[in-house]
Amino acid sequence: MPVEFLTDEQAEAYGKFAEKPTRPELEQFFYLDDVDRALIGKRRGDQNRLGFALQMCTVRYVGLFLEDPLAVPWPAIEHLRQELGIGDVSCIKQYTERLKTAYQHAWEIRDAYGYHHYEDPGWGRLFRTFLHGRAWTTAEGPVALFNQSVHWLRRNRVLLPG
């Protein structure tokens, strides 16, 4: 179902990397703390460590797991390679050779960090309450409400629909 109040560019950018992350965005969303490193450290092989980290940081930045976990701008991959001390970044190409690996990693990341499905009734109710309150108490138009909704979902670790 198209969202008719968004421009084609805005609709196309939803749920994916519309452009390369900026340096501050890389430092905010692609920074690995001790908890992240402990989870990543359980993976065998540089390709799995880098792929796992890539999915973890992508869901933080975009708000959902990408259908193709490697559809990420090169600066993000390079930034994580440096954070993890991986020498040969080309190993990332091997990450999707076993189809189940990326799905299993996404499930583990979802559970470890408390991400929720958009369809979850409790979180859906909280989201509708937020949106209803925002629509009735501000003079924002549909685009601003849409952007605020995406921000609320990401902040509350609710995976974006679609």
pLDDT in tens, 83-111: 999 999 999 999 999 889 999 999 999 99
H or E stretch including 49?
helix 46-62
Give the three-class secondary structure for 77.
helix
Q: What is the model's pLDDT at position 16? A: 78
Q: Residue 143: pLDDT band by 50, 70, 90 thresholds?
A: confident
Q: Are 32 and 85 in contact (CB under 8 A)?
A: no
Q: How confident is the model at residue 129 (pLDDT cuts 50, 70, 90)?
A: very high
Which residues, including other chains, have CB under 8 Å from residue 157's CB and lie 6 or more apart? 113, 114, 115, 116
b vs e for 5-27, b when ≥16 Cβ sit within 10 Å of the residue's Cβ? ebeeeeeeebbeeeeebeeeebe
pLDDT score of 2 more than 70: no
Please report where in the chains the tokens 């390679």 appear, as a residue: 81
pLDDT of residue 37: 95
Position 144 scores a pLDDT of 83
Phi-psi region of 114 (alpha: psi -120 to 50; beta: other; left: phi over 0): left
Segment 41-58 mean pLDDT: 95
